[in-house]
Amino acid sequence: MNIQHDITIALTKGRILKETLPLLARVGIEPLEDLSVSRKLVVATTVPRLNLVILRGSDVPTYVQYGSADLGIAGKDVLLESGAAGIYEPLDLGIARCRLMTAGPQATDSEVELKRRVREATKFVNVARAHYAKKGLHADLIKLYGSMELAPLMGLADEIVDIVDTGKTLAENGMAPRELIADISSRLIVNKAAMRTRHASVRAIIDALKSAVAQQGSAS
């Protein structure tokens, strides 16, 4: 890989990181530190002049938008919520797939439809506001950062908007998915200025990952 500039890629902690590292390794980008134990904030890689930073998912678009990172890998849910201004989204990496959905206590369709005003708990307040507005519903939004399933159980909210993977946690708490808002996967994002000023290096990374994703898709 021909990297002619100093490049920083912002990665998302957790499940996305676990699925990102093998993809990066296939294009020759591997951290020189064991990320499971290293406390370094900026990590060098096997590619000279290319560094990684590991961030909370919601921070990745911010670092890329303001140019502190040239590229990033983030979930589409985070990008929808942030608005992703000043960012290109050239590639769906096809990893960390899940769904962004409304969910609530199990109820009949008629019970759900009768509500014209809902209290909704989520960390995706912008996405939720747009979703309910399209339905002609007024939503009182309550921002939470975790344990979303608890909100309806404790009477705090009628519904939640959250990421659903298997749906097991919902089912174990007497809840069910209701409406699909978006299918989610992780995306490669690029700072617009970096795309111009570091074009050769950024393009090399995009093309390498695009090829790796295509090979992964054909193998599966």
Q: What are 190-211's pLDDT values in tens digits?
A: 999 999 999 999 999 999 999 9
Q: Please determine, for residue 136, whether its predicted confidence score (pLDDT) is greater than 90.
A: no
Could you tell me if 161 and 198 lie in one domain? no
Could you tell me if 156 and 109 lie in one domain? yes
In a domain, 208, yes or no: yes
Say what the pLDDT of residue 135 is: 87
Q: Please determine, for residue 220, whether its predicted confidence score (pLDDT) is greater than 60.
A: no
Query: How confident is the model over 162-192, as pLDDT tens digits?
Result: 999 988 999 999 999 999 999 999 999 999 9
Residue 128 identity (one-letter amino acid): A
Query: How confident is the model over 14-59, as pLDDT tens digits?
Result: 999 999 999 999 999 999 999 989 889 999 999 999 999 999 999 9
Could you tell me if 47 and 103 lie in one domain? no
In a domain, 130, yes or no: yes
Could you tell me if 92 and 190 lie in one domain? yes
pTM across the whole model: 0.91
- Pinpoint the alpha helices (H) of the chain: 15-26, 60-65, 76-82, 109-114, 125-134, 150-153, 168-172, 192-197, 199-219
Domain extent, residue 173, equals: 99-183
Count how many domains the chain has.
2
Query: How confident is the model over 71-130, as pLDDT tens digits?
Result: 999 999 999 999 878 899 999 999 999 999 999 997 645 455 556 678 999 999 999 999
In a domain, 1, yes or no: no
In a domain, 26, yes or no: yes
Assign residue 173 the CATH number of its domain. 3.40.190.10
* b/e code 15-40 from CB counts within 10 Å (16+ = b): ebbebbbebbebbebebeeeeeeeee
